[in-house]
Amino acid sequence: MKTYLFVYSIGPVQSFIAAARKTEDFWSSSYLLSYLNEKTIRAALESKQHNVKLLSPAVTIEQLDEQMGGGSADVAALPNRFLLRLDANQDLDVISFAKQLEQRTIVTFQELATDAINKVFGTLNEHQYIKRLADKQLSEFVEIFWAFEEWTNKVENASYNNIRLTVEKRLASVKNNRIFTIQAQNALVCTVCGSREALNTGDISDSTIVQKNVVKDKDARIKDNERLCAVCLTKRLARGIFKERFEKEKQLFQPFPSVFDFATQSNPYYAIIMMDGDDMGKWISGIDNKILSGFKNIDEAYHEEISRRLTVFSGQSVPNIVKQSKGRLVYAGGDDVLAFVPLDELLSMIQSLREVFSSENGLDMKATASMGVVIAHKKEPLQRVLTTVRELEGKAKAYKNNVQQKDAVAFGLISKSGQIRRAIVPWYLDEKKQLSVIEIMIRLREVLGETLSSTFLYHFYDAFSPIMPQGEKADLAQEIIDLEFRRLISRASKNLNQNELNSLTEDLLKIYSISLTFVGFLHLLEIIRFMSGKIARKEEDQ
C-alpha cells in the first residue's frame, strides 16, 4: 500500500458566479458550487478501501452532517477545492478514485437539473431529448481538475509540505493546459448567459415550444420572454429544489433578500463587502514568519489546525457577526467572506470581521486580511457592484505604505450618477493595531451634521486642491496642512466637546499623513459624510 496526496477542484468559479443579475442568482451560483463540492467530499470520505483523510478543509462526515443540518445550511461554506490523503496500491487506483469523484460531481449537478426540468417541462413528450441536452450542457460546463503525488519516504526531501507543493503545482499546470471544447450551436441561445443553447425539443422550426410549456410555478420565476439553458435554469430554480431537499430545515432557504431589502425608503443605499485573508499561501506553507503560533513544523497536523481555525472563523464567527449586523452572507468559506449589509451597520460590522480574523476565533493573532467595500444605490446594476467590489478587494491587497503591505480596506461609493469615489486605508494606524481607522471613521460619522458641520471638508478641498497636482500630494510641509486643517475643523465645530474635537482632529491628520493621495483622503471624508447623511435621515424618519 502506498500513500498519496490528492487535490481536486471544481470550476469554473468565475462563470458560475458571473451572469448574476440579482442577489438571488448570485446566492444560488455560490451555493450550487459549494453543494457540488460537499457531495464530492462525501463520496471521497465514503470510499472505504482508500482510508481517505481530508486535510483541507479538514472535515469529517459527522462535521458535514452537522453543518448541513444546522442553522447555516443555506450559506455556501465550502471552498471549490479540497486536499486529501489516501492509500492505494498503485497510481491507476488513484486515477479510478478520481474518476469516481468526477462522476459524483457531475451526477449531483445533473440530478439538480433533472429536478428543475421536471418542474418546468413536466408534461412534455420531448422530455428525454431535453434531458439529454441538459446532461450534455452540464458536463461540458463543469471544469473538474485533479492531481496527485505519491508520498513515500524513499523520495529525497519527501516532507509533507514538499509533496503538497508538488501536487499544487501539478494542478496549476493541468488547469493551464486545459482544452477548450467548442460548442456547436443548433438552436436559440440562452437569454441569461448568452453562450449555451436554450433548452429545446430538437425541432428547430418550433423554437418557441420551450417557453410555451413553462410551468407558471412561483419558484420558477421565468419570464415570458426568457429562454434558459440547463445551467441557468438549474441556478434559477435552485432555491426551490434545495428547499425540498432540506425539508427538515423549513426556516432555511428563505429567498435571498434583494438589494432593496438592505436599503430603506429614506436611504436607498446598501453595502456589499468582500474579504480575504492576506498571504494565505504563506500561512499554508509556513514561510516569511507566517506560521501559526505554537507550531514549528509544516506537517499534516499543521494543516489540519489551519483548516480547523478557518472553519471556526467562517462557520461561527463570521455568521454571528453578519447576523448581528442585520446583514446576509452569500459566502463564508475558509478565509473568504462575501456579504450584504445595511449602511448603518457597515462600519461596525467590518471592524468586527477584521478583529475576529486575528483573534482566537480567527486564523492567528498575527494574521491580517484585506477587504473591498462598495456602497451602491439599490438601482445600480448588481453586476457592476460585484465587479467593483472584486476590483476594490484587489486594490486593498495591493495596498502599500511606508510601514506595511496589505491589511487594508478599499471603499468605493457609487453615486446615483454612476460616479465612483474610492479610498484605500490600512485597518490600523499603529503597529500594535490599536488605533483603528474604522473607529475614527465611526467617530467622525457620529458627530458630522450634529456637532460638527461638514463644511470643513469643502473648505479644506478649496484651500489645497489648486496646489495638489492631479490629486496627488504636493510637496508641501505637513505642518502647513495640519495647521489649516485644524483651523477649518475647529471653525466647523458646533458645540463639539473640545477634547473630542482635538483628538478627532489629530486622528484624522494621522489618516491624512498615511493617505497615498490628497484626493483619496478627500474621498474618504466624503464617504463618511455621505454615510452620516443617509443614516441621520433614516433615524429622523423613525
Give the nearest distance from C-beta 205 to Zn ion in angstroms.
Answer: 22
Q: How far is it, in rounded angstroms, from Cα 73 to Cα 80?
A: 16
Nearer to Zn ion, 36 or 389 (CB): 36
Give the nearest distance from C-beta 514 to Zn ion in angstroms.
Answer: 46
Stretch that binds Zn ion, among 188-196, 347-355, 411-419, 465-473 (CB under 5 A): 188-196
Binding of residue 229 to Zn ion (CB under 5 A):
yes
Q: How many residues bind Zn ion (CB under 5 A)?
A: 6
Q: How far is it, in rounded angstroms, from Cα 406 to Cα 397?
A: 5
Nearer to Zn ion, 183 or 324 (CB): 183
Give the nearest distance from C-beta 376 to Zn ion in angstroms.
Answer: 25
Q: Which of 130, 232, 341, 396 binds Zn ion (CB under 5 A)?
A: 232
Nearer to Zn ion, 232 or 292 (CB): 232
Nearer to Zn ion, 18 or 193 (CB): 193
201-235: b or e for each residue (b if 16 or more CB lie within 10 Å)? beeeeeeeebbeebeeeebbebeeebbbbbbbbbb
Give the nearest distance from C-beta 229 to Zn ion in angstroms.
Answer: 3
Sign of CA dihedral 369, 374, 375, 378: negative
Give the nearest distance from C-beta 184 to Zn ion in angstroms.
Answer: 16
Q: Which of 41, 81, 76 is nearest to 61 (CA)?
A: 41
What are the counts of helices (DSSP H) followed by strands (DSSP E) for the chain?
A: 19, 10
Nearer to Zn ion, 5 or 199 (CB): 199
Q: Which of 429, 426, 481, 493 is nearest to 455 (CA)?
A: 493
Q: Which of 404, 424, 407, 388 is nearest to 517 (CA)?
A: 424
Nearer to Zn ion, 198 or 437 (CB): 198
Q: Which of 48, 46, 47, 58 is nearest to 84 (CA)?
A: 58
| Cβ neighbours of residue 311 closer than 8 Å, sequence gap 6 or more | 57, 58, 59, 63
| Cβ neighbours of residue 372 closer than 8 Å, sequence gap 6 or more | 273, 274, 388, 389, 390, 391, 392, 393, 394, 395, 396, 409, 410, 412
Report whether the peptide linkage leading into residue 12 is cis, meaning its omega lies within 30 degrees of zero.
yes
Give the nearest distance from C-beta 330 to Zn ion in angstroms.
Answer: 20
Stretch that binds Zn ion, among 58-66, 185-193, 450-458, 465-473 (CB under 5 A): 185-193
Binding of residue 192 to Zn ion (CB under 5 A):
yes
Stretch that binds Zn ion, among 70-78, 183-191, 260-268, 416-424 (CB under 5 A): 183-191
| Under 8 Å between Cβ of 276 and 313 | no
Stretch that binds Zn ion, among 20-28, 228-236, 351-359, 466-474 (CB under 5 A): 228-236
Stretch that binds Zn ion, among 171-179, 184-192, 372-380, 411-419 (CB under 5 A): 184-192
- Residue where the block lists cell 435554469: 233
Give the nearest distance from C-beta 141 to Zn ion in angstroms.
Answer: 9
Nearer to Zn ion, 25 or 380 (CB): 25
| Under 8 Å between Cβ of 24 and 237 | no
Nearer to Zn ion, 231 or 356 (CB): 231
Give the nearest distance from C-beta 193 to Zn ion in angstroms.
Answer: 3
Give the nearest distance from C-beta 484 to Zn ion in angstroms.
Answer: 57
Q: Which of 68, 193, 468, 536 binds Zn ion (CB under 5 A)?
A: 193
Q: Which of 44, 112, 163, 190 binds Zn ion (CB under 5 A)?
A: 190
Report the interface residues with Zn ion, using CB under 5 A.
Answer: 190, 192-193, 196, 229, 232
